[in-house]
């Protein structure tokens, strides 16, 4: 088990290297620099600026400096390895770490809230549908699920605003700060995931419930609740757990549009504006951060497997 985790951890190194190189090249291949202004600056000032941010160095050196593999022009190791994402190029007074600290918690809160909605709505819906297969409940929840899968957050968001904020006036239209603000965006974000989870839970529950050990549990005279929760759900949850990792990552990165619709000051919104501003360090940093995050959540899911199903062995 621990050997498996260590192997997976080592595997993340080439993954992160690859992602960082691709991102670095893509970002730097975009023509136009961060210091392009309408009115051209004197060449010396431009050169000084480039020098200050190390942009005058050869590309490979900029990369190794950024990753913290080599000493940067000021003679320090300051890069990703040292958990230093560097200064923001367009916002002179802030470092990327500070920008993350200010905006990431917002996106993460939104992502967690959406995941809670996805699991909290999806799993019960799937269980009910499976336990009462072919009943009205089953059809209703599967109809809801197909609505959730088909209607993207970009459509749900404005409709929620229209109904709950503009017509009923129960919730604020947009913004961030209170629990009321989180409700609509996380619902818009989490609904399609909850539909996916509902369908998955139903399918795997239907399979598990026909297994012999469930019959055994019933024959022992266990109450239906114990049979379902303790025996069936535990195994039925495994396929659901496999999607939770990528799903959480997708939810957190999927906040771009939602943050735009609901005017939420999250990292997604900041990322988009950094692309147009050519703020290399913010773009690189965000991509790497999300990649790290995706790798970590996948690892977490793989490890959870073993706890959920002792039959799964890692060599």
Partner 1 sequence: MTKQESAARALASGRADAQGLNSENQQKVTNLWQDAIYRLTRNRAAVLGLILIVLLVLMSAFAHVVAPMHFTAGDAALNNAVPLWLTKVMPGHMETYTQISDIYPLGADYLGRDLLSRVIYGTRVSLPVGFVGALTALLIGLIYGSVSGYYGGKVDNIMMRIVDIMYAFPTMLLIILMMAFFKSSFSGAATPGTPAYEFNRINKVVDSLLGLQSGGMLFIFIGIGLTAWMGIARLARGQILSLKEKEFILASHMIGARDGRIIWRHILPNIIGPILVSVTLAIPGYISTEVFLSFIGLGVDPPAPSWGAMISDGAKALRSYPHQVLLPALFLAVTMFAFNFLGDGLRDALDPRMRGTK
**Residues of span 259-278 touching partner 1 by CB under 8 A:** 260-261, 271-272, 275-276
**Residues of span 172-191 touching partner 1 by CB under 8 A:** 173
Min separation Cβ 224 and partner 1, Å? 26
Applying CB under 8 A, among 54, 158, 172, 239 the residue interacting with partner 1 is 158
Count of other CB atoms within 10 angstroms of residue 179? 7
Applying CB under 8 A, among 250, 303, 306, 308 the residue interacting with partner 1 is 250
Dihedral in degrees, nearest 10, Cα atoms 26, 29, 31, 36: 80
- Rounded-to-integer distance, Cα 127 and Cα 141, Å: 10
Q: Does 152 bind partner 1 (CB under 8 A)?
A: yes
Min separation Cβ 23 and partner 1, Å? 7
Q: Does 9 bind partner 1 (CB under 8 A)?
A: no
Nearer to partner 1, 45 or 154 (CB): 154
Min separation Cβ 101 and partner 1, Å? 20
- The count of residues interacting with partner 1 (CB under 8 A) is 48
Applying CB under 8 A, among 45, 101, 155, 312 the residue interacting with partner 1 is 155
Min separation Cβ 113 and partner 1, Å? 19
Applying CB under 8 A, among 162, 226, 229, 312 the residue interacting with partner 1 is 162
Residue written as token pair 């985790």: 5
**Residues of span 13-72 touching partner 1 by CB under 8 A:** 14-15, 18-19, 22-23, 26-27, 29-32
Q: Does 254 bind partner 1 (CB under 8 A)?
A: yes
The residues of the shown chain that bind partner 1, judged by CB under 8 A, are: 11-12, 14-15, 18-19, 22-23, 26-27, 29-32, 146, 149-152, 154-155, 158-159, 161-162, 166-167, 173, 249-250, 253-254, 256-257, 260-261, 271-272, 275-276, 283, 286-287, 290-291, 294-295, 298
């Amino acid at each position: 088990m621990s050997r498996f985790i260590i192997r997976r951890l080592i595997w993340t190194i080439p993954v992160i290297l690859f992602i960082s190189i691709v991102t670095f090249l893509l970002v730097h291949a975009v023509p136009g620099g961060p210091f392009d202004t309408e009115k051209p600056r004197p060449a010396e000032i431009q050169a000084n600026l480039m020098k200050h941010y190390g942009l005058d160095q050869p590309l490979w050196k900029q990369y190794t400096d950024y990753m913290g593999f080599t000493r940067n022009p000021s003679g320090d190791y300051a890069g990703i390895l040292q958990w230093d994402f560097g200064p923001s190029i367009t916002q002179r007074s802030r470092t990327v770490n500070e920008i993350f600290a200010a905006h990431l918690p917002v996106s993460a809160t939104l992502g967690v809230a959406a995941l809670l909605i996805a699991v909290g709505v999806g799993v019960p819906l799937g269980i009910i549908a499976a336990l009462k297969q072919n009943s009205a409940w089953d059809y209703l929840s599967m109809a809801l699920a197909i609505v959730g899968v088909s209607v993207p957050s970009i459509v749900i968001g404005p409709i929620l605003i229209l109904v709950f904020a503009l017509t009923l006036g129960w919730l604020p239209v947009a913004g961030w700060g209170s629990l009321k603000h989180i409700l609509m965006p996380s619902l818009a974000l989490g609904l399609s995931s909850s539909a996916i989870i509902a369908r998955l839970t139903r399918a795997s529950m239907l399979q598990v419930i026909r297994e012999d050990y469930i019959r055994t549990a019933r024959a022992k005279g266990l109450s239906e609740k114990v049979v379902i929760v303790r025996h069936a759900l535990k195994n039925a949850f495994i396929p659901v757990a496999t999607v939770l990792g990528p799903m959480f990552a997708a939810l957190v990165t999927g906040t771009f549009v939602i943050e735009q619709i609901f005017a939420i000051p999250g990292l997604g919104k900041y990322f988009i504006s950094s692309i147009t501003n050519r703020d290399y360090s913010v773009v690189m940093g965000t991509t790497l951060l999300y990649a790290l995050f995706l790798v970590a959540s996948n690892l977490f899911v793989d490890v959870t497997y073993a706890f959920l199903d002792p039959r799964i062995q890692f060599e």
